[in-house]
Structure 1
Amino acid sequence: MRARAALLVLVTAAMAVIWAGMPGFSTAAYTASTTNTGSRVTAAADWTPPAVVLTAPGASVKDTVTLTAAATDGETGVKNAAIQYLAADGSTWVTICTAAGAPYACAWNTRTLADGSYELRATATDNAGYSATSPTVRTIVANNLLVVLGDVADAVRGSTGLSAAVYNAGLLVPVVRFEYSPADTNNWKSICTNLSAPYSCSWNTAALANDFYDVRAVAVAGGTTYYSVIADDVLADNQAPAVTMTDPGTPLSGTRTFQAAASDAHSGIAKTVIQSAPAGSGTYRDLCTINTEPYSCRFDTKSLTDGNYTFRAVATDLAGNSTVSAPTASRVVDNTVSAVSMDNPGIYLTGTVTLSAAASSNAGVRSVTIQRAPGGTTTWTDVCTDTTAPYSCSWNSATVANGLYDFRAVLVDGAGQTTISAPTAGHQVDNTPLRGYDVQAVNAVTVGKLQPGDSLTFTYNQRVNLTSLAAGWTGSAQAITVRLRDGALLGLGTTGDTLDVQYAGGAVNLGSVNLKQNFVKASKTVTFNATMTAGTTTANGLQASTVTITLGTVASNSSSLRTASTAASMVWTPSSAARDLNGVAASTAPVTEGGTLDRDF
C-alpha cells in the first residue's frame, strides 16, 4: 500500500509540473492512464499545439494563385489548416479555405479583390483541439497597373528617401512622381517628377514647417494616371529637442543619481544619454541611456578614475534630431572618502516596499541607517539599520499615514564618522485599499491600430462597487462610448494619446489611460461605439473586479486613426469616484501595464 501511495504521489507531482508549464487549459481528451487501488491518474496524449508556416506567394500576385502552408503535429496530428487574408484597410481576417489534409493549399482568386497590399496567414488545428497561427506574410495583388509607395517613416527629418514600385504595367512605360500635402487638406505639391525605374526620390523636409503631411506616388502610363495608397500623417520634424543636464553635485563618490530634463515639441523624445568626460579631454563615455521619463539613472562612480570630470546629456527625438546639453564642468569624483546615497524607491509607495542605499568608505562601513520624514520637513525617523551590503530593508508603508515622504541614508564608517546622503523627496505613500492592479489590451485585427473587436481590460486589486463606475450598472453588457484624444490636446505630446470612457449618464468612472503611443492624428479626437462588461479574477490572492471594454464601430473621425509603430507600456490613472464594496474611494495612483512591451491593440 505504501509503495502504491508513493507511486501516486510521484505521478501526481509529475502531472503538476507539466500542468504548471502550460499557458492555459487544454481541450485534449485524456487517453492514457495509470491506476492503483482507490485512485486513478490520467494523462493527455497531446499538450502541444501544432507548428505552421505559410509560404509567401511572392512580392506580387494576380489572377488565381495557390497558397500553401506547411503544418505538423508530432502527437495527435494536424486536423486542418485554414488560410486567410487581410486587406490593408480591412477590419477582419477572411478565410480563403480550410484544408483537411496535406498539402494544405488553397486556390486564391485575386480577381474578386481590389488591387493593393494584403497580409496572409495560416492557422493549424490539431486533433487534440490546439491551434497555432503562422507569422503573417505580405503580398501585392495587382491585376491592373498598380503603383505602390514604399514604406515612409512616421517621423522624418532633413532629406528622406522615398521609393515606389509599379506592378503589372505590361508594355507600358510608366513615369512616376512623388507628391506631398499638408495632412487632410488634399493640396498636393510635387516632390520629384518624371522618374523612370527604379522609382526613388529624396524629399527635403527641412524646407517645410514642422507638421504632419500626406505622401503619395503617382504613375502616368498610356495617358492614364494612377495613384498609390496615401501614407498619411507623416510628421516632418526638423526641430531639435531641448535638454538640460541636472547638476550631480561635487564631490561625487559611490553610487549616485545622474539626471537630465528633456522635451520635444513634435515627435517626442526617443532616448536621453548621460555622458562623462575627464576634464579637458572632450572624450565622452556613456554612463547610461534612458528611454522614458524621468531621464535619470544610478551610476557607480567607482568605475571612474578619481579626478575632475565634465558631465552632459544628449537627447534624441523620434525623428532623429539630437541636442547636446550645456556641459556641467569641474565636478570631482573622489572615492577615497565615505560616500552614501539613497536609492529612489518610486513615486507611489504601497504596502511593503524595499528601501535601499549605496554606501562605501575606505575606513569600512559599520552601518547604514535609512530614515524617513514627512515631505519637506526635517523630522527624521529611523526606518531600519543594516550592517552588510546591499544596504536595504523592507518597510511596511501602511504603518504611516498616507502622504508625501522624504528618505535619506546615514552612513557610519569604521572610524565612527557619520556621512548623510542627500534626501530623495516627493514619495507618495498611498495605502488606499482599492486601487488599480493592471491594464491590458488585446488586438483583434491590425497590431498598433484601434479597430472594432479590440479590447481593453482594467483590473482592480479587489472587488469594486460597479454602481460607482456607472449608475445602476450590474456588470452586464453596457453600451458606452470610448474617446481617443491626441496627446497634444492634453499637453502630453505626440505619443501621449489618451483614452477614456463615457456613457449616456456621463463619464464612466474608470479614469483615463495614457496609451504612450501615437494612435490618432495631430489634435484630433476619435470616438468608438463600444461595450463594457464586468468580471472577476484573482489579484494578489484576492478576488478582484475586471472591466473589459470591447470596441465596436467608429462613431466619429475614422480617418484620424493611425497605426502606432513603437512599443510602449500604457499607464492607467484610476478615478477616485470608483468605490470598493465598503464605499472607500479608489486610489488615483497610476498603474503601468504589466507584461511584455508591445504596440497594443
Structure 2
Amino acid sequence: MSRGPRAQLALAVAGVLGVFAVVSGLVSPAVAFSGATFSSTTSNAVSSVTAASDWTPPTVSVTDPGSPVKGTVTVSATAIDADSGVASVTLQYFATNGSAWVTLCTATAAPYVCSWNTTVGADGSYVLRATATDKAGYSTTSAGVQTTVANNLLVVLGDPGDMVRGTVPLTATLYNAGTVSYSVAIQYAVSGTTTWKTLCTTTVSPYACSWNTTGAAFTQGESYDVRAVATAGIASTTSSLVSGVLVDNVAPTVTMQDPGTPLRGTVTLAATASDAESGVSQVLVQYQLSGASTWTTACTLTVDPFSCRYDTTKLPDGTYAFRAVATDAVGNGTTSPVVGSRSVDNTVSSVSMEDPGAYLNGTATLTATASSTAGVTSVRIDSAPTGTTTWTAVCTDTASPYGCSWDTTKVADGLYDFRAVLVDGKSSTTTSTTVSARRVDNSPVRGYDVQTVSGGATPGRLDSGDVLRLTYTQLVALPTITPGWTGASLPVTLRLRDGNLLGFGSTGDTLDVLRSGATVNLGSVNLKQDYVKSSKTAQFAATMVASTTTINGATATVVTITLGSATNASVLRTSSTGSTMVWTPSAAATDLNGTPTSTAPTSELGALDREF
C-alpha cells in the first residue's frame, strides 16, 4: 500500500538522523494519519526535522452488553492513549440488514457511555463498535461486538455458513415467546426466488432440524435462502433470511501429473485440480516408498498452478508412488489415481533448468542447478523458440552457481523454451526438463506497481473512499485506456468478482474497471485474498483520474480509481490477511507511439500488508 505523510516523515527522520531504526515498527498502515501540530524539533548542521510528539494511536474496545437486549440499553467503551490522551469516543451500531453505521453518541470524557433506545429500530442482529480519537488526531476503530435486539417476538435462525455439505444442523431461537406454544417451520428457497419449501416443523424448543443437502431436492452448486417461521394460531412471525448458502456435495477432480523417472535433485511435483462449485481450497502432493503403508506429504498447495519444487535428495533412493489429494472450500475431498513405479536415484548426475519467469525483458538471468557423483565438468544453457527444436547455446559455465545473463533485446519478442545440459567428469551428458513457453517481451511500457489506500470505514473491506492506484513505467496514451479520455476525473464502475468465477479459487478475487458497461483497458488486479462471497460479484460507483510520476528517470502515467458506494454491499467480506496483489495490464493500452503495453503481471511493491 502507498505510504502516507506520517510514514514518509518517519523515513525522512531515519535518513537524516539515523535514530529510527525500524520505521515499520512505529507506523501501523491501518491507522489514519493525523494533521497534528508539530512539537519536537531535532537538527544538525545541515538539516532539521520536526515531528509530532505522539506517534501512537489510542486503543479502544466495546463492552459486550449481552444478548438478547431490549428497551434502553447502556453501551460503554474503554479507551486509552498514554501519550496525548483520548479526545473523544464515538459509539455506533450497524443493523445486519442495514446500509450504514448509526452513531449513538460521542463522549469526550470517561466513562464513555451511551444510552441506546433499541425500540426505535427493528428487532434483529446488530454489531456495536467504538472509534477513539486522541488529541494528536489519530483514530482507532474497535472490533465489533454482536448482540441481538428483541423487544417483541423475534425469530432468529442460526447461520449454517456460506457453504454447506452433508447433513447440516439448523436451529431457530424464539425471543419473548412468553407462555404461548409455537410451531416452528424451517424453510428453504432457491436464492432470489420466493418459492418456499419446508425442511421440517417442530413444536419443541430448541427448534432444530437436520438439513440433508444431499437430497434430490437440492441442486449441487446452487445457492439457497433459509428462514424460520413461527406460528401460533393464525399469527406467524418470520426470521430474517440467511441468504446465499451454497450447497456443495460434489468432490473436486484431481490428477497427479507424472513427475518422470528417474528423479534426481530438485524436481517439479504437480497436479491438476478443479471444482465447479465451491472451488479448490487445497491440494496435497504425496509420495509413498515401495513397501511402505503410509503416505507422506511433499507439499501443500493452495493456488493454481498446483506445483512445487521438491528436493529428492531428502529421500532414500528407491521406487516411489505419487498421488494428489484435493479438497474444496466446503471440505469435500478426492484422491487422484496413483502414479507408481517412479525411481528416485541420486547416485548419478542431475541437472535442472530453473524457471527464469513467465515474462522476460532487458537482461534476464538464466540459472541451472547441477550435481554429479562424478563431478560437474560444465553446464550449458540452451534456448529455442517454442514449438521448435532449434536449440541455441546461450552460455556454458564450469563453476557453481551455473548461469549467465541473457540480453533479450537481441532476439525477437515471443515464446522461448530453455534447458540445461550437464557434462559430468566421465563426459556423460544429462539434459534437464524443458522450461517451456517463457515470453520475451521488450515492450517499452509496462506495469510498474499496484497499490491500495484505505479510506473507507472498515479496514480490510472494499468501501467508499478506498483507492486503487496503478502505475506504469512510462507515459500511456490515455484515449487508448478509454476513448476520449484526457485524464480528467471520469465516472466509472469498479467491478469485484469472486476468484471462483474466474478459475482463481476463493483467494483470487479480482478487480477490473468498466465504463458504460464496457471494460476499460487497464487489465485486471488479482487481490490474492477473499473479499466477496463465493461466486458473487460486487460493483462500486467510482471515479478515475490520471496523473504523472517519475519512474527510473522517466515520466510515467499513474491511474487512480477512488471508490464510491457499492450497489450490493451484502456480498462483501472483510479480509484480515496481508497479500501481494498482482496487476495484469491490458495490451490494448499503448504508449505515445502506439506500441502495446506489456501484459506481464506486476506484483505489488513494498512489504506484505493488508489491502483497503
Same topology, TM > 0.5: yes
Q: CA deviation at 1:253?
A: 1.1
SS in 2 for 1:60: coil
In 2, are the aligned partners of 1:471 and 1:505 still within 8 Å (CA)?
A: no
Q: CA deviation at 1:461?
A: 3.2
In 2, are the aligned partners of 1:437 and 1:591 still within 8 Å (CA)?
A: yes
Aligned counterpart, 2:9 = none
Aligned counterpart, 1:231 = 242
Q: CA deviation at 1:360?
A: 2.4
Amino acid at match of 2:521: N
In 2, are the aligned partners of 1:434 and 1:460 still within 8 Å (CA)?
A: yes
2:482 to 432, 453, 470: 470
Are residue 300 (structure 1) and residue 311 (structure 2) matched? yes
Aligned counterpart, 1:585 = 596
1:562 to 571, 578, 581: 571
Amino acid at match of 1:549: I
Mapped partners of 1:297, 1:505: distance in 2: 40
Mapped partners of 2:564, 2:228: distance in 1: 33
2:101 to 93, 101, 105: 93
1:291 to 287, 302, 317: 302
Mapped partners of 1:485, 1:44: distance in 2: 42
Q: Deviations over 1:79-124 (max 9, x none)?
A: 1122222222333322222211112222222222222222222221
SS in 2 for 1:187: coil
Are residue 156 (structure 1) and residue 164 (structure 2) matched? yes
Q: TM-score, normalised by structure 1?
A: 0.86
Amino acid at match of 1:131: S
1:104 and 1:595, CA in 2 relative to 1: closer, same or farther beyond 3 A?
farther
Mapped partners of 1:309, 1:106: distance in 2: 67
Are residue 212 (structure 1) and residue 233 (structure 2) matched? no
Mapped partners of 1:447, 1:11: distance in 2: 30
Consecutive unaligned residues of structure 1, counting only runs of 5 or more, are 1-8
1:129 and 1:419, CA in 2 relative to 1: closer, same or farther beyond 3 A?
same
Mapped partners of 1:258, 1:505: distance in 2: 42
Amino acid at match of 1:427: R
Q: Percent identity at matched positions? A: 54
Q: CA deviation at 1:471?
A: 3.0
Q: Deviations over 1:439-498 (max 9, x none)?
A: 455573567876655554333333333232233323332122445667787777888776
SS in 2 for 1:509: coil
Are residue 343 (structure 1) and residue 354 (structure 2) matched? yes
1:38 and 1:468, CA in 2 relative to 1: closer, same or farther beyond 3 A?
closer
In 1, are the aligned partners of 2:538 and 2:572 still within 8 Å (CA)?
A: no
Mapped partners of 2:591, 2:112: distance in 1: 53
Are residue 248 (structure 1) and residue 266 (structure 2) matched? no
In 1, are the aligned partners of 2:181 and 2:203 still within 8 Å (CA)?
A: no
1:110 and 1:595, CA in 2 relative to 1: closer, same or farther beyond 3 A?
farther
2:278 to 263, 267, 271: 267
The equivalences for 1:41-190 within 5 A come to 42-190=50-198
Q: CA deviation at 1:30?
A: 2.6
SS in 2 for 1:345: coil
Of 260-269 and 440-449, deviating more is 440-449
In 2, are the aligned partners of 1:514 and 1:572 still within 8 Å (CA)?
A: yes
Amino acid at match of 1:358: T
In 1, are the aligned partners of 2:461 and 2:574 still within 8 Å (CA)?
A: no
Mapped partners of 1:89, 1:193: distance in 2: 26
1:175 and 1:386, CA in 2 relative to 1: closer, same or farther beyond 3 A?
farther
The count of corresponding residues between Structure 1 and Structure 2 is 589
Of 15-24 and 302-311, deviating more is 15-24
Q: Deviations over 1:302-350 (max 9, x none)?
A: 1111111111111111121111111111111111111112223332234
The equivalences for 1:512-531 within 5 A come to 512-513=524-525, 519=532, 528-531=540-543
Mapped partners of 1:11, 1:240: distance in 2: 55
Mapped partners of 2:311, 2:561: distance in 1: 45
Amino acid at match of 1:118: Y
Mapped partners of 2:457, 2:136: distance in 1: 26
Mapped partners of 2:194, 2:386: distance in 1: 55
In 2, are the aligned partners of 1:150 and 1:162 still within 8 Å (CA)?
A: yes
Q: CA deviation at 1:274?
A: 0.8
Q: TM-score, normalised by structure 2?
A: 0.85
1:307 and 1:147, CA in 2 relative to 1: closer, same or farther beyond 3 A?
same
SS in 1 for 2:347: coil
Mapped partners of 1:103, 1:357: distance in 2: 66
Amino acid at match of 2:318: G
Root-mean-square deviation (Å): 3.5
Amino acid at match of 2:368: A
Are residue 480 (structure 1) and residue 485 (structure 2) matched? no
Amino acid at match of 2:472: Y
Amino acid at match of 2:185: R
Of 296-305 and 378-387, deviating more is 378-387
